[in-house]
Structure 1
Amino acid sequence: MTEHFPRPEGSPLMPDWFDAHAVNLSASERRAASLPTRRTVKKEWQAAWLLRAITCIDLTTLAGDDTEDRVQRLCAKARTPVRADLLEALGIEKVTVGAVCVYPTMVAHAVMALEGSGIPVASVATGFPAGLTPLPLRLGEIRYAVEQGAKEIDIVITREHVLKGDWAALYDEIRAMREACGPAHMKAILATGDLKTLTNVYKASMVAMQAGSDFIKTSTGKEDVNATLPVSLTMVRALRDYRDRTGQMVGFKPAGGLRTAKDAMNWLILMKEELGTRFMMPDLFRIGASSMLGDIERQLEHHVTGRYSAANRHALA
């Protein structure tokens, strides 16, 4: 049975927890490169890990041409991410994704489409993806999404605060966003591809957790560089350091550029190696993805039948 932990409340801003911290880029890259080779997961164990990955996916559509119909199709896939015949062959009764993530104006459509499923709706907010609209407007967007029924809010930070080392401004901004979220859980998107250094990534991660984030998230998916293993390793180690100092459990969400079953396995291995199996559960680990689900289903079909099917047999929506 999964042990449930209290929601993290954050802490006062404590720059001395991270001011002197420096991340060794080459060491991080070596460690990240070794992760996929450290653990071999094959056959039924691989199928089990891939099924676990599905439960951690935030199935996402964040396109300028999103429509109610597209969101409804995405939600139908979220309810039944793997074909019934494959689940039966695997001895699994049911599996669903971790959440469906959409723009604020699409939240109500997703809530209606997912009614009774137990799948939460997540919404990006705060001027996603750049986050450069005035703070009152960003806070209002959070409140709107929550009023529409979003249970999770993916906020974006002001990258300038990180690049200038203005940790008080970053803390105050994220703290205000956490308050605007109310009961909805907040994932703080750091947009790590814009932060220039792994040291900045570590420091921004610590400030986001001190400000009360429920999750820290790598990317919007719109930056030139999104989730990478070295960045994720840096953030995961910040999570571990914060947990060791406070006892609070904060989740992690890589997003952007994760498209294959192999990607899912690599990030699950990262969580297993660095934080343990408890951080492979959807209340502490999510993957922001869309096309990844189709490839996972394709790999599961290969496990069951011994044959690879065409990718178009596993359309997302």
Structure 2
Amino acid sequence: MELDLDWVRTAQANTSAIERRAATLPGRRSVKKDYQAAWLCKAISCIDLTTLAGDDTAGRVQRLCAKARQPVRADLLQALGMQGLTVGAVCVYHDMIAPAVEALKGSGIPVAAVSTGFPAGLSPFHLRVAEIEESVKAGAHEIDIVISRRHVLTGDWQALYDEMKTFRAACGDAHVKAILATGELGSLRNVARASLICMMAGADFIKTSTGKESVNATLPVSLVMIRAIRDYYDRTGYRVGYKPAGGISKAKDSLVYLSLIKEELGNRWLQPDLFRFGASSLLGDIERQLEHHVTGAYSASYRHPMG
């Protein structure tokens, strides 16, 4: 849609109220036994299983893709009646797209690639656009782009809109996730406004963080972004997805985020096409919890390697 600056400027954030609401979630929302196992299986289906390390190799990515195809031991899935469960996607750097596409062939699991000078987004603009095009050409079905934080910090909303719109066009048929790097935006009000701008410019998802900032996904930030999504849907009828990333490593944390999505956006947003976790170690902890549910015993975390 066209840039609506009047709408953007009316977006505000009551920080104390947001933090108070977020603080109540972990204590008030708890599910146990079979219900907890079902919710944890739902969380697995929404994970973007990620490796974004400087020492990534084709072998590591292939092992990660094998985990994406079989995220939980087969006997546990059979006991839970969840055969065929897979993660939502595998997220890698551009150079690792080819081995990921090959390893996931026939699985239906999409490959997501980080792009546009990830994580800082400070490379020349034409190279950032070219990187998107190269990743799509290499077989990535989803592109995670990073916005220029300076546009938000200086209030240059037109520049942010134009940048995001160009990235959206470069993605073609691939889904685009806009990473806001919320820990570097200065305020919750900036988070709300940047969320709206990216949605107006065509983002299919808005995402909290690269996972490389000092502060990544938090519940207050998530509440602001989710309500921006809800406001956007109420006004336009268009559903935009949400992806918290960075710092979500425990099964109990995933349950809190899922409950927040259910309460604020409804069940439709609990599907992988509209909600993802950006995580790697989260899957290991969920698998441990599911094993405890089935067998009554906890296993050591080293028995659940990711790659």
Cα distance in 1 between the residues matched to 2:53 and 2:302: 21
Residues of 2 paired with 1:92 and 1:193: CA distance?
36
Unaligned runs of 5+ in 2: none
Do the aligned residues in 1 keep the contact of 2:29 with 2:256 (CA within 8 Å)? no
What corresponds to 1:140 in structure 2?
A: 130
Trace 1:243-282 onto structure 2 (pairs within 5 A). 243-282=233-272
Distance of 1:92 and 1:235 partners within structure 2: 31
TM-score by length of 2: 0.99
Q: Look up the match of 1:201.
A: 191
Partner of 1:114: 104
AA partner of residue 97 (structure 1): V
The aligned counterpart of 2:26 is 36
The separation in 2 between residues aligned to 1:234 and 1:145, in whole angstroms, is: 30
Indicate the residue corresponding to 1:100 in structure 2. Answer: 90
1:89 aligned onto 2:79: yes
**In the alignment, which residue of structure 2 is the partner of 1:172?**
162
- For 1:224, give the aligned amino acid: S
Q: Which deviates further from its counterpart, 200-209 or 39-48?
A: 39-48
**SS of residue in 2 equivalent to 1:288:** strand
Which letter maps to 2:159? A
Are 2:39 and 1:46 aligned?
no
**Cα distance in 2 between the residues matched to 1:40 and 1:92:** 22
Deviating runs (4+, > 6 A) in structure 1? Answer: none
Query: 1:154 matched to which residue of 2?
Result: 144
TM-score calculated relative to the size of structure 1: 0.96
Segments of 5+ residues of structure 1 without an aligned counterpart are: 1-10
d(CA) in 1 for partners of 2:286 and 2:128?
A: 35
Alignment correspondent of 2:223: 233
Deviation at 1:37, TM superposition (A): 2.5
Q: 2:56: which partner in 1?
A: 66
Superposed displacement of residue 17, structure 1: 1.0
How many Å apart are 1:18 and its aligned residue?
2.2
Q: CA deviation at 1:314?
A: 1.1
CA distance in 1, matches of 2:9, 2:209: 23
Describe the superposition over 1:80-117 as per-residue Cα deviations: whole angstroms up to 9, x where unpaired.
00000101111122100000000011101100000000
Native 8 Å contact 1:36 1:269 kept in 2: no
**Percent identity, aligned pairs only?**
68
**Structure 2 residue matching 1:150: 3-state secondary structure:** coil
RMSD: 0.6
Paired with 2:122 and 2:78, the residues of 1 have a C-alpha distance of 48
Partner Cα separation in structure 2 for residue 37 and residue 277 of structure 1: 21
Q: Which residue of 2 aligns with 1:3?
A: none
